[in-house]
Structure 1
């Protein structure tokens, strides 16, 4: 009889309740300062990262290969025959390839690694849906086949306070940087479903207009479809709470979840001022 393990990473921003409910194995990214290193969400909080950005901007690294090896060894001992890993977009990180290498060292577990082509709750909601399918007793093959259609139902948008951190971390993708900063352009950013990189969905001038526009975009989708709604932030609690409160009232919101602060590793690359909104289309 097959036994399926579910694996993800800390950038999915899943809360402890969901992690426990679906027995999700979460691999931590690493936050690296000049003289110290932390495991994302375990040894450092998002707030600690943001509060120290004026002193030092850390770098980040994917989960340690040792952590991946230890996880697969533990899963083998626990009798797992299959594993599904749903990870941060391969256009933003090498974690997809890292888990692939680790899984190949453990042929006794049939592993499928799925590229979420997203981040934060855009990734997390795919993991949650996968957890539901495992709980329902779906086969490994059925779940693997369902994942691409689940991913297509995700809509993610975010704005940042400044493009400086995306540029510095090399995560800016197809988002225009320096000129945009000079003109006070605050782009609405999304993730390209094809290459998994950031791109400018809309160009808006000024913070207030960008926040209004991101809510307009989300409401336009909700006017057409019933969706679960998630809001998260990167050191922008007030702005994200305001957006959450307004959009939650939309009649086509089936459930509204305030995701709180994004993972520390995401905060390193986005900087303070991020407001992120995610919709997941109901079937």
Structure 2
């Protein structure tokens, strides 16, 4: 079966990875004022924050239009693809997954299978790369979807934002009401719960927030039955000192693990704000059998 693989740009799949693995990356629109930018095309996180410092309007994000997606899927169908796997950012922070579900229901000839990662950025990207490996290995569609479901279940992360202004203003924090009153004075710890961003602790300084995040990382990873097969991730928005500290911590505590360091995509950085940082983990797709 000829299977197409589609994802959105918040997965931060590189152009080389996309070319090498036949991955179609659909850019997420970022709107600043009355100008629309496209992730991976004409906007980066660094440029986003530069525009913010220059006084640009508060950025907003959108999703690829249904019309554009139908055009893409028509093209893939005409090229002989018998199925399409579309791996998206969390449905808790974007309507893109639901848009694809509607397309799948209304256009059964595409044999479209949307997958809600309930996550985003490089953790999502690694799930996409796992799908690409399985397609290359010739696995059937059912086996690929089953493996992806199991890999997705291993994904977790803890992250901290400098303040909650962007998240609350953008409506992306599910339990904002419990934190808004003091949001300018705290460094909240957050995670994804069933696809939603939730704040679960209030810390009074970034240094203490980092310490709590590190302790939680150790605690959560050591409880995993597959802890010997995990890959670690550092994702940041424009603070090299935070990245250095997180990397030194992970190298010390988990010296035998692979560490991936990337930035939040512009669309995600829009909601988290500058000086945000995440530590994430998931099963290392290079340490599991994806051939059957």
Same fold (TM over 0.5): yes
2:271 to 247, 269, 272: 269
Deviations 1:118-144 (A, max 9, x none): 121232222122222212211101111
1:75 deviates by 1.0
Partner of 1:256: 259
* Compared CA separation, residues 241 and 69, structure 1 to 2 (3 A): farther
Alignment of 1:1-283 (within 5 A): 2-54=1-53, 55=55, 56-104=57-105, 106-175=107-176, 176-182=178-184, 184-193=185-194, 196-224=195-223, 225-226=227-228, 227-251=230-254, 253-259=256-262, 261-282=263-284
TM-score by length of 1: 0.91
Superposition CA RMSD, Å: 1.9
Instruction: After TM superposition, give the deviation of residue 104 of structure 1 in Å.
Output: 4.6
- What number of residue pairs does the alignment pair up? 278
The range that moved more, 79-88 or 217-226, is: 217-226
Q: Show CA shifts across 1:238-264 (max 9, x none).
A: 2023202320343464311111x2111
Q: Secondary structure at the residue paired with 2:234?
A: strand
Deviation of 1:197 (Å): 0.7
How far apart are residue 103 of structure 1 and its match? 3.9
Contact 1:9/1:28 (<8 A) preserved: yes
SS in structure 2 opposite 1:172? coil
Do the aligned residues in 2 keep the contact of 1:116 with 1:123 (CA within 8 Å)?
A: yes
Contact 1:89–1:118, Cα closer than 8 Å, also in 2: yes
Q: Unaligned 5+ residue runs, structure 2?
A: none
- Once residues 211 and 17 of structure 2 are traced to their aligned partners in structure 1, the CA distance between those partners, rounded to angstroms, is 31
TM-score (structure 2 length as normaliser): 0.88
Q: Quick one: structure 1 residues 242 and 281, their matched pair in 2 at CA, closer, same or farther if it must change by over 3 Å?
A: same
Q: Shift of the alpha carbon at 1:177?
A: 2.9
Q: 1:231 to 1:50 in 2, by over 3 A?
A: same
Q: Indicate if the aligned counterparts of 1:234 and 1:271 stay in contact, CA closer than 8 A.
A: yes
Distance 1:148 1:50 in 2: 35
